[in-house]
Amino acid sequence: MEYQQYNPPHPGEFIKEVYLDPLELSANEVSKKLGVHSSTFGRLISGKSDVSAEMAVKLEAVLGRSAESWLLMQDQYDLADVRSTVDVSGLTAISFQ
């Protein structure tokens, strides 16, 4: 099975490009609103940490997108990353009849 190449952004990159930069918000300002340490939010927007379920709920409350959409964005990013690195060429599909 062949998959279309898709390079979704990390949720942190999305937050930076859609919220921080255009609205001229500082990471420190948003981290305070999220109730997390600035280093925690800094790791997220730099792509060094992932969106957890807890963070997704906090992002929903502060930035407005649903928690599900934040988790889906993280899953899409992770899946694209894995698909680009995992070699499945030696695997054989099970045939269902």
**Per-residue confidence in pLDDT tens, the chain, 97 aa:** 555 557 999 999 999 999 999 999 999 999 999 999 999 999 999 999 999 999 999 999 999 999 999 999 999 999 999 999 999 999 999 999 8
Quote the pLDDT of residue 5: 58
Residue where the block lists tokens 């099970």: 94
Residue that the structure tokens 């379920």 belong to: 53
Q: What is the DSSP letter of 50?
A: P
DSSP symbol at 88: -
